[in-house]
Structure 1
Amino acid sequence: MPLVVPVILGSVRSDRLGIRAARFLTARLAARGHEAPLVDPAELNLPLLDRMYKEHPKGQAPKVLEDLATLLRRADAFVVVSGEYNHSIPPALSNTLDHFLEEYFWRPSGIVCYSAGQFGGVRAAMQLRAMLAELGTPSIPSLLPIPRIQKALNESGEPAEEWLGKAADKFLDELAWYAEALQAKRAGGTPY
């Protein structure tokens, strides 16, 4: 069943490596027949959070927030791509996520974390897991950590290592299972 799965990238650095992971995931999702738009904070250029989308008077939110809210409401699941900055998530990711709340409700998320080192960003993933649950988009049990991302993926997001494609397929199978289950439950109504 085709799903809408925005891939939310966390980094805005000029030499960011996370874009490789985002390209890899959007391509993998598209190959499965899913719609996987990239949510790139470097392109969105959101202001630092002053008012959440819902705090703007109806019809008066900036266009970039209105467009993103429309996409998030259409989503069946989210893939969040996060590097590890000081054992936590990048500030651009927090800023992007924090502009919204209800738009995430009752949809699962999957965490793709990465680093230039051997741990693959898993320390940031643990912080992100708590944040996503609070936002109403709990993460699936599996993570997709990508250690040594500069070697694992080329600039186009193509894997240089065989294990990564297999791990991504398993991760996306799990995410799709949760997305379809929650989609069916949302169709019957939510607790509020």
Structure 2
Amino acid sequence: MSLVFPVVLGSVRPGRNGLRAARYLVRALESRGHEAPLVDPAELGLPLLERMYKEYPAGEAPEPLERLAALHRRADGLVVVSAEYNHSIPPALSNTLDHFLEEYFWKPSAIVCYSAGRYGGVRAAMQLRAMLGELGTPSIPSLLPIPEVHKALDEEGRALQPWLERPTGRFLDELAWYAEALRDKRRGGVPY
């Protein structure tokens, strides 16, 4: 069954390796028949958070926020692609996510983390897990860490390392399972 999973990239740096990981996830999700639009903060140009989307009068939010809100409302879940900056979450990712709240409720998220080193960004992923839960989009139990991302993926997001396919498949199976289960429960109503 086709699902909608925005892939939210967390970096805006020039030459960012996260774009490799985001493209890889978009490609992997689309190969399974899912819709996976890339949410790129470098292209969106969102302002630093002064007020959330819901705090704008109806029809007065900046156009990128309106577009992103519509995408999140129809999404079945969220894939978040995060680097690790100073053992934490990149500021562009936090800013992109923090503009919304209700649009995420009762939908699962999945964390893809990466780094140029061997840890694969997992320290940031632990903080991101807490943040996503607070936003109402709890993360699935599995992570997809990609260590040495520049050696694991090419610039177009194609795998250069065969080991990556197996954990990616299990990760996406788990995400789809949670997304379908929560979608079915949302159809019957939510606790509040």
The amino acid across from 1:166 in the alignment is R
> SS at 1:11's partner residue?
coil
SS of 2:141's partner is: strand
Query: Do structure 1's residue 56 and structure 2's residue 24 form an aligned pair?
Result: no
Task: Give unpaired runs (5+ residues) of structure 2.
Answer: none
Counterpart check, 1:7 vs 2:11: no
Instruction: List per-residue Cα deviations over 1:92-133 (Å, max 9, x = no partner).
Output: 000000000000000000000000000000000000000000
Task: Give the TM-score, by structure 2 length.
Answer: 0.99
* Structure 1 counterpart of 2:79: 79
Secondary structure of 2:64's aligned partner: helix
Residue 20 (structure 2) aligns with: 20
Alignment of 1:23-172 (within 5 A): 23-172=23-172
SS at match of 2:116: coil
Distance in 1 between residues matched to 2:56 and 2:20, nearest whole Å: 34
Partner amino acid, structure 1, of 2:118? Q
Cα shift readout 1:9-33 (whole Å, capped 9, x = no counterpart): 0000001000000000000000000
Query: Equivalents in 1 of 2:111, 2:163: separation in Å?
Result: 17
Q: In 1, distance between residues paired with 2:132 and 2:178? A: 15
Unmatched segments (≥5 aa) in structure 1: none
Indicate the SS of the match to 1:8: strand
Give the TM-score normalised by structure 1: 0.99
Query: Aligned AA for 1:62?
Result: P
Sequence identity (%): 73
In structure 2, what is the Cα distance between the partners aligned to 1:50 and 1:121?
28
Structure 1 residue 36 displacement after superposition: 0.3
Query: 1:163 deviation in Å?
Result: 1.0
Offset of residue 77 of structure 1: 0.6
Aligned match of 2:174: 174
Distance 2:140 2:121 in 1: 17
Distance in 2, matches of 1:44 and 1:164, equals 29
- Structure 1 stretches of at least 4 aligned residues deviating more than 6 Å after TM superposition: none
Amino acid at match of 1:175: L
Q: What SS does structure 2 have at the residue aligned with 1:143?
A: strand
Q: Which amino acid aligns with 2:28?
A: R
Aligned length: 192
Q: How far apart, in 2, do the equivalents of 1:9 and 1:67 lie?
A: 16
Q: CA deviation at 1:166?
A: 1.0
